[in-house]
């Protein structure tokens, strides 16, 4: 009951926010400093290849309230850059990217982010991602191909660079790691630890899930996978568990052979997700990578609840925010301006934004 009430409160909250957003000419975001003891996850895209204006493909912005105010991107699929840009976070702070796997709905918008050197990135762009079964299928090869894809773009932008930038914004450092290694720490910096573990997707080696730990706070993001022990192990005890789902699937046996094969080898159904949430017991369970609309929502919740009758549960939507602290996990909605702020990503504008904007509203609070 508490969980249903939380979902209802959340929906009511969103209704309220939408009204506020429509009625006001002003901007809603929250670019204030992230308080110490807080991890904030913003959903840039909650969707899948079934991309649409309401739901961009998978991507997350993760902000950590440490001294460095570290920011991380986890996946940046088709369209997710739109919401990243809309948050107004300066490019200078968006240097660290983690990719779960090299499917377009998880990495296609990297090209737009790569151009960020033009918009204020001054440090090298760092990309973490798995190796492939062969060198040319790994993250390093993908990034090298991306640089080639963007060669004219980079060259032309430098031509009209009148100030003669001499920073490292165009440089790229790829941290490709062996995708076969379980529970591998791939980043340990400023107190933030990111661990990767292999998952199973499309019968092709490479895909991983990630977990971040900082000051006893944690979240796990599954990437795309079928149910695997490695994922459950990684997620165990994490505060927030963002799990890829595909469905609802009323009748697996009624699907075509191809669809069955796709689900069985590559994805987690909402019903399976319920069982995995029950086994891993996160403080907040987030069902992600679903096509969410009025018709699908109830069926998805019903399916997940078969195996996970209790516990806080959210069906992910674009710009949902999960704020983790020692005492709570808060669910919010990030409000972004209806129109672009142009070059507001510049550091100078950022300072002004910090003073003006504190209006990220609290839609609901998921209790412990
Ligand atoms: C998919 O899994 C279901 C349930 O385990 C099974 O009945 C079905 O035969 C499988 N289909 C394929 C194509 O693998
Ligand atoms: Zn996907």
CATH number where 286 lies: 3.60.15.10
Structural domain contains residue 362: no
The residue that leads in pLDDT, 139 or 21, is: 139
Alpha carbon distance 100, 206 (integer Å): 8
pLDDT tens track for 268-315: 999 999 999 999 999 999 999 999 988 889 999 999 999 999 999 999
| Total number of domains constituting the chain | 1
What residues line ligand 1, using a CB cutoff of 6 Å? 252, 257, 260-261, 264
Q: What's the length of the chain? A: 368
φ/ψ (deg, to 5) at 132? -110, -175
Rounded-to-integer distance, Cα 201 and Cα 224, Å:
6
| Residue tagged 């909650």 (tokens) | 46
What's the pLDDT score for residue 23? 33
Domain assignment present for 17: no
Q: Between 326 and 354, whose confidence is greater?
A: 326
**pLDDT for position 367:** 32
Q: Where are the alpha helices (DSSP H) in the chain?
A: 2-23, 80-87, 104-107, 110-114, 139-149, 151-159, 229-235, 257-266, 270-280, 294-307, 347-356
The whole model's pTM is what?
0.86
CA end-to-end distance (rounded Å), the chain: 15
CA distances from 275 to 7, 227, 268, 278 (A): 19, 10, 10, 5
**Cβ contacts of residue 349 below 8 Å, gap of 6+?**
88, 341, 343
Decide if 7 is inside a domain. Answer: no
Across-strand partners of 96? 126
Q: Residue 352 falls within a domain, yes or no?
A: no
Taking the centre of ligand 2 as the mean of its atom positions, its distance from the CA of residue 289, in whole angstroms, is 7
Does residue 351 lie in a domain region?
A: no
Nearest CA to ligand 1 atom 5: 264
Question: Within a domain: residue 368?
Answer: no
Distance 199 CA to ligand 2 centre (A): 13
Q: Does residue 361 fall inside a structural domain?
A: no
- For 292, the domain range is 27-337
């Amino acid at each position: 009951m508490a969980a249903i009430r939380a979902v209802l409160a959340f929906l009511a909250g969103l209704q309220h926010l939408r009204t506020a957003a429509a009625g006001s000419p002003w901007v809603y975001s929250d670019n204030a400093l992230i308080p110490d003891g807080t991890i904030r996850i913003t959903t840039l895209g909650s969707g899948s290849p079934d991309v649409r204006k309401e739901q961009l493909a998978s991507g997350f912005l993760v902000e950590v309230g440490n001294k460095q105010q570290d920011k991380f991107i986890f996946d940046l699929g088709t369209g997710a850059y739109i919401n990243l840009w809309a948050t107004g976070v300066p490019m200078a702070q968006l240097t660290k990217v983690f990719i779960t796997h090299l499917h377009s709905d998880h990495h296609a918008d990297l090209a737009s982010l790569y151009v960020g050197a033009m918009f204020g990135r001054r440090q090298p762009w760092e990309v973490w991602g798995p190796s492939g079964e062969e060198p040319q299928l790994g993250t390093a090869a993908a990034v090298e191909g991306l640089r080639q894809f963007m060669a004219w773009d980079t060259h032309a932008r430098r031509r009209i660079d009148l100030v003669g930038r001499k920073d490292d914004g165009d440089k790229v450092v790829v941290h490709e790691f062996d995708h076969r290694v379980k529970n591998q720490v791939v980043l340990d910096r400023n107190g933030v630890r990111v661990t990767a573990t292999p998952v199973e997707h499309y019968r092709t080696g490479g895909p991983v899930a990630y977990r971040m730990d900082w000051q006893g706070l944690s979240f796990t993001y599954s990437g795309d996978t079928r149910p695997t022990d490695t994922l459950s192990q990684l997620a165990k005890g994490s505060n927030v568990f963002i799990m890829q789902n595909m469905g609802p699937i009323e009748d697996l046996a009624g699907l075509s052979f191809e669809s069955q094969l796709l689900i069985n080898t590559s994805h987690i159904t909402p019903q399976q997700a319920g069982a995995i949430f029950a086994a891993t017991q996160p403080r907040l369970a987030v069902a992600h990578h679903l096509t969410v609309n009025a018709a699908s929502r109830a069926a998805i919740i019903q399916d997940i609840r078969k195996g996970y009758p209790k516990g806080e549960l959210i069906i992910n939507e674009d710009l949902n925010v999960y704020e983790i602290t020692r005492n709570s996990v808060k669910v919010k909605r990030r409000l972004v301006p209806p129109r672009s702020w142009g070059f507001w990503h510049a550091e100078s504008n950022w300072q002004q934004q910090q003073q003006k904007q504190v209006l990220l509203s609290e839609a609901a609070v998921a209790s412990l």
